[in-house]
Each structure stands twice: as structure tokens, then as C-alpha cells.
Amino acid sequence: MQAYSLPILPQPKRVGLSTEVMGIDEAQQPISLRIIEEQAWTLYLNATEIVTVMTIGDYPDLLAVGYLVNQNLLENINIITAIDIDHELQVVVVRTDAAAPPVLSRRIRTSGCAEGTMFEHVLENLPKQILNDTSILSTDVMMQVLKRINTTPSLYLEAGAIHGCCLCQQENIIAYLEDVGRHNAVDKIAGLMHTHKLDGSGCWFYTTGRLTTEMVIKTVQMGIPILVSRSGFTAAGVTFAQQYGLTLIGRARGKRFQLLSHPERIAFL
């Protein structure tokens, strides 16, 4: 298993993540654009094929571990013995000490871009996970970090058509990861937290994606008490956040934002 140096930041110039294409603009003038590359990676847990995901393929190990963690297919009691990556076949195998294959329940198609999925047993296990974190985030710190995120060189600034997720601890950005689907980006963060044994308490999370049920559930599962987005909310996402103790902030742009759940963790400065 590879250990990554923190913080992890986007690598917009990394070969294979984007490509240059020629086209024309509205005035019929020739233009050159950077566009995102997509790859189909298949994830295995030991000998069991779990899912094939469309991804930019930059951190397949973190994506695989995070997906398994967020689907409750990989628990803390499972010891990861190896992660095998085949870039040619675009396959990643997470090997653990557990001999029995995972029990896969019915899949639920979520509102995630690129058709995210969630196994039914994830929702069944949620009632046990209530966030009781009492950490406080000031609006001043939050705005300063959001400005840094928005000006950090990234694939979004280079080519667009991509989502980003950031794990932060007060003013520190621990990891900023991107992917074509917001669910993939958050799974990479979950994989990083699991492999590096990072605790979500005292942290906050930023996403460029909508605040849907899927995003709220994954943030709760990671034990992160505050979720911030530049995008808007769904009613179900807000209901889940209120129910499970998650502070939910949306439409965070410039100095403006909207807070719809658990405001007690925010210091208005």
C-alpha cells in the first residue's frame, strides 16, 4: 500500500488526466481546449468483482478503498494486506485478511453524476451513526480556505467538467482530490482517511457538487461534522443532515452562504 505525503493537491499537468483537442468557437475561429480523460476501472475486493467506475484514474487505490469503506464492505476490523493495481487492464484489487466474500445487497441508483450507486445496507446501518462532534469553524477561516481552494491550480481550472472535494482541518487543507463524479472524489478522500488512519472529528469537508443524500451519507460515514458546498441542496439531503447531526452549508460563494442544518458549529465572524 502506498503512503502519500500530505497535503495532497491536484496535479493538473499530470500526463493522462486531460488531453488537448481542436475545435471552433461561436465566431467559427479555431480553438485549442484541454478536456478531461475518462477511464473505466473495475474494483475487486479479494476475488469478488464489486463495481466498474468511470474515473480519471489518478488514485485508483484510494478510490477503491474509499468506495469499499463508504459501501460498508470494508470495516475497521478488516486488515488490508495488499492493493494490486494493473494500469493496463484498469483493475484494482483490494486484498484483506477476510476469507469470506462480501454480502452484496440491492443497489440504489443515486443522483450522483455518472450514475452513482449505493448498496441498500448502507442506509440500514446509518441510524447508528450520529455526529456529536462539538468542534467550531469560524466563517472567517472558512472563507479564507474557500478562496485558496478556488485559486489552487487544478483540473477544474485547467479543463472544467470535473468535481473536487477537500478535507480540511480549520485553515489547513489536508487533501484536495478531483474526479469526473463527485462521488468518486469523496470516495478518494474516504480511502485516504482509512489508509492513513485520519480521524474526521474536528475536520470539515468541501465539495463542488450538490448536497444530495449520497453526499450527506458519505460525510456522516467519514465522521466529518461539517459539509460545505458551492452548490445547492436537495430536501432529502437536508433532512438526513438534520437527523444525523451534520452541519450543512450550501451556495458558498465569495462571502455568501446558506446554512440549513446544525448551526451550532459555526462561529459568525
The residue-averaged pLDDT of 113-141 equals 74
Q: Are 70 and 213 in contact (CB under 8 A)?
A: no
- Indicate the residue type of 200: G
Q: What is the structure's pLDDT at 114?
A: 42
| Residue ranges with strand state E in the chain | 18-24, 30-36, 39-45, 48-55, 80-86, 91-96, 107-109, 117-119, 137-138, 163-169, 172-179, 204-207, 226-229, 247-253, 256-261, 266-267
Which residues in 219-258 are b (16+ Cβ under 10 Å) and which e?
A: bbbbbbbbbbbbbebbeebbebbeebbbbbbbebeeeebe
User: What is the C-alpha to C-alpha distance for residues 42 and 104, in angstroms, rounded to an integer?
Assistant: 16
Binned at pLDDT 50, 70 and 90, residue 127 comes out as low
The residue-averaged pLDDT of 208-215 equals 94
User: What is the C-alpha to C-alpha distance for residues 149 and 192, in angstroms, rounded to an integer?
Assistant: 19
Binned at pLDDT 50, 70 and 90, residue 1 comes out as confident
User: What is the C-alpha to C-alpha distance for residues 149 and 142, in angstroms, rounded to an integer?
Assistant: 11
* DSSP-derived secondary structure letter, 232: -
The residue-averaged pLDDT of 111-134 equals 65
Mean pLDDT lowest for which of 63-72, 75-84, 144-153? 75-84
Binned at pLDDT 50, 70 and 90, residue 72 comes out as confident
Binned at pLDDT 50, 70 and 90, residue 129 comes out as confident
The residue-averaged pLDDT of 156-183 equals 96
* Tens-place pLDDT, residues 88-118: 999 999 999 976 666 665 454 444 444 455 5
User: What is the C-alpha to C-alpha distance for residues 91 and 96, in angstroms, rounded to an integer?
Assistant: 16
As beta bridge partners, residue 229 has 207
Q: Which CATH number fits domain 137-267: 1.20.200.10, 3.40.140.10, 3.40.50.720, 1.10.340.30?
A: 3.40.140.10
Q: What is the structure's pLDDT at 141?
A: 98
Express as a percent the part of the chain with pLDDT over 70: 88
Residue positions counted in the chain: 269
Whether residue 126 is predicted with pLDDT greater than 70 in this model: the reply is no
pTM for the full predicted model: 0.91
Mean pLDDT rounded to a whole number for the chain: 91
Instruction: Give the Å distances, CA to CA, from 73 to 27, 70, 104, 250.
Output: 52, 8, 8, 30
